[in-house]
A = this chain, B = another copy of it.
Amino acid sequence: MRRDIFQAIADPTRRAIIVLIALQAMTPNDIAEHFDTSRQAVSKHLRILTECELVKQDQQGRNIYYSLEIDKMKEIDKWLEQFRKIWETRFNQLDDVLLTIKNNKK
């Protein structure tokens, strides 16, 4: 089983769950009500999200509140870093071109 963060966000329902619990903790039943699926299906998604530590649990009596481990999202950001460098470089190159054109006009 791969079960890394990229695999976790591949599924649209999982992405929706992530957004949903980003701001406030919710129980599996609460979450399921927001979608067109069963509690069990949500539960499975939550397990996957838990396995890659994207989500944390907080048990209160028989209710289990799930919330987003926001720091984990930074891993995606970190991976994007290398591309951000490239697109910023390209942008700078464009700057250079514009600068050259500008200078040539003088």
Q: Interface residues, chain A, CB within 8 Å of chain B?
A: 2, 4, 6-7, 9-10, 12, 15, 19, 22-23, 70-71, 73-74, 76-77, 79-80, 82-84, 86-87, 90
Residues of B within 8 A of A74 (CB): 87
Min Cβ gap A93→B in Å is: 12
Supposing A7-B10, A9-B6, A80-B80 touch, asked if A71 and B87 sit within 8 A by C-beta, the answer is yes
Main secondary structure of the interface of A (DSSP, over half): helix
Count this chain's copies in the assembly.
2
Q: Name the one of B12, B70, B73, B90 contacting A70, with C-beta atoms under 8 angstroms.
A: B90
Alpha-carbon separation in the docked complex, A36 to B2 (Å): 17
